Amino acid sequence: MPGILRIAYKLLINDRAKYAALLVGITFAVFLMIEMTSLFSGILSRSSATVINIGASIWVMDPAIQTVANSIPLPSFMLDEVRSIPGVKYAVPLYSGSALLKLHDGTYQAANVIGLDDTSLFGRPELINGKIEDIFAENAFIAVQDSEFYKLHNPKIGDEFELNEHRGVFVGLAHVASSGLFGIPTLYTTYNRSLQYIPNTRFTITYLLVEPKTPEDVAAIKKAVTADGYLALTHDEFIAKITDFYTYHTGIGTNMMIMTLISFIIGLSISGQTFYTFILENIEKFGALKAIGAKSRELVMMILFQASFVALTGYGIGVGLCSGMIWMARLYLPDYAAIITPMNLSVAFIMVVLIAVLSSYVGVRKVLKIEPFDIFRG
């Protein structure tokens, strides 16, 4: 480390009270920013759980659909219509809806039921217990063993339940990439059984899942579906549409953004104020350094180094604390929907850099303004 930066480091570290105040301010801000954005990421990820877990390349739906949860059924002819579009390798129906289960102890539990195409079982989950072919057995359902699984009273294979006075049997336990947003368990069965067990409207296909022959066929398929008055979205587009809905049309995104901004302002206020006081206390010494022969850019480097050092240390501690808290929370609250993504970390990092830049800006201005003559003049 160059000597001048080592001096800056020692000036910072040895002023323990201010160093602690700076660290607390930045750590707190980072903690809040990452916590807020992680919660939001968790909510967004869960809101697209069905899309992520099924994994189809193209989803055909009613244009009025805003999220995967509020489905508007498609007429049956659309299945044949889509299958007839050049470029479609295959297309299968998917049922997705809610149902109320009566568990073996007589209690009721809402669940999300996914009905997979009977022929292909396209979008089936990864089984961790049982065999996939058992889904064709009488009354067969596969339960997803996720954070909501305990709400089914942790059933084993062979355990029974009732759904609209139909007998249901758990024939397998599965694992999926993402749990749903609404805190209810998920069951998989066949498309036809889901229609048979759950009361339906005239149209029954919730989504059509389409696989194009080649990636180049996607545009033509989307165009053809649009011509029929429906909407075809790729996997990523559908997730983006859902994300967009939760971000801009529910208030969740706005609230999270406000909270993140408040965290930023808190961090900036604490660290800005403390750093300014720190510079003010040393301003005459910086002037003396100038008189001795330090160049302005060296003094600016010292201040930027101090601000960056505090910011990065606070960032590291904040990320560590937030990760630890999310880990702890998940131990006791399986539903806890917070995910730290590279995007969250980047957003927090950018904001911390901004805090460091803004905090040091005033200090840099002060140091550039101080004239060695002022030191002599007292």
Partner 1 sequence: MAKAAIQAVGINKSFGQGQAMTKAVQNVTFTANFGEMLYVVGPSGSGKTTMLSMISGILRPDSGTVKLLDTDIWSLSSDDLADFRLHKIGFVFQDYHLFPRLTTAENVAIPLILQKRDWDEAIAEAKKDLEIVGLKGRADMPPVSLSGGEQQRVAIARAIISRPDILILDEPTASLDGDTGRNIVSFVRTKILTDKSCIVIITHDSRIYEFADRIVKMEDGKVTDADMENLNAQ
Nearer to partner 1, 179 or 306 (CB): 306
Residue pair 206/94 in contact (Cβ under 8 Å)? The answer is yes
How far apart are the C-alpha atoms of 264 and 354, rounded to whole Å? Answer: 9
Who's near 114: CB < 8 A, 6+ residues apart? 50, 54, 94, 95, 96, 123, 186, 187, 188, 189, 194
Name the DSSP class of 165: T
Q: Is 215 in the site for partner 1 (CB under 8 A)?
A: no
How far apart are the C-alpha atoms of 204 and 194, rounded to whole Å? Answer: 10
How many Cβ atoms sit within 10 Å of the Cβ of residue 126?
A: 11
Q: Is 256 in the site for partner 1 (CB under 8 A)?
A: no
Nearer to partner 1, 292 or 331 (CB): 292
DSSP 55-116: --SEEEE-TT--SSSS--PBPTHHHHHHHTSTTEEEEEEEEEEEEEEE-TTS-EEEEEEEEE
How far apart are the C-alpha atoms of 97 and 176, rounded to whole Å? Answer: 17
Pick one of 77, 284, 320, 324: the residue that binds partner 1 (CB under 8 A). 284
Q: Smallest distance, Å, CB 313 to partner 1?
A: 17
Name the DSSP class of 48: T
CA dihedral 286, 292, 293, 298 (to 10 degrees): -20
Nearer to partner 1, 222 or 290 (CB): 290
DSSP 346-361: HHHHHHHHHHHHHHHH
How many Cβ atoms sit within 10 Å of the Cβ of residue 334?
A: 15
Residue with tokens 């003094």: 299
Stretch near partner 1 under the rule CB under 8 A, chosen from 1-9, 63-71, 237-245, 350-358: 1-9
Nearer to partner 1, 225 or 302 (CB): 302
Stretch near partner 1 under the rule CB under 8 A, chosen from 73-81, 200-208, 284-292, 361-369: 284-292
Q: Is 290 in the site for partner 1 (CB under 8 A)?
A: yes
Q: Is 282 in the site for partner 1 (CB under 8 A)?
A: yes
Q: Is 298 in the site for partner 1 (CB under 8 A)?
A: yes
Number of residues that bind partner 1 (CB under 8 A): 29
Binding pattern for the stretch 319-358 against partner 1, x by CB under 8 A and - elsewhere: ----------------------------------------
How far apart are the C-alpha atoms of 95 and 204, rounded to whole Å? Answer: 7
Residues in region 6-25 near partner 1 by CB under 8 A: 6-7, 10-11, 14-15
Beta bridge partners of 110: 100
Stretch near partner 1 under the rule CB under 8 A, chosen from 58-66, 174-182, 283-291, 340-348: 283-291
Q: Is 2 in the site for partner 1 (CB under 8 A)?
A: yes
Pick one of 64, 227, 292, 331: the residue that binds partner 1 (CB under 8 A). 292
Q: Is 369 in the site for partner 1 (CB under 8 A)?
A: no
Nearer to partner 1, 6 or 156 (CB): 6
Q: Is 288 in the site for partner 1 (CB under 8 A)?
A: yes
Pick one of 72, 169, 220, 291: the residue that binds partner 1 (CB under 8 A). 291
Footprint of partner 1 (CB under 8 A):
2-4, 6-7, 10-11, 14-15, 282, 284-285, 287-295, 298, 371-373, 375-378
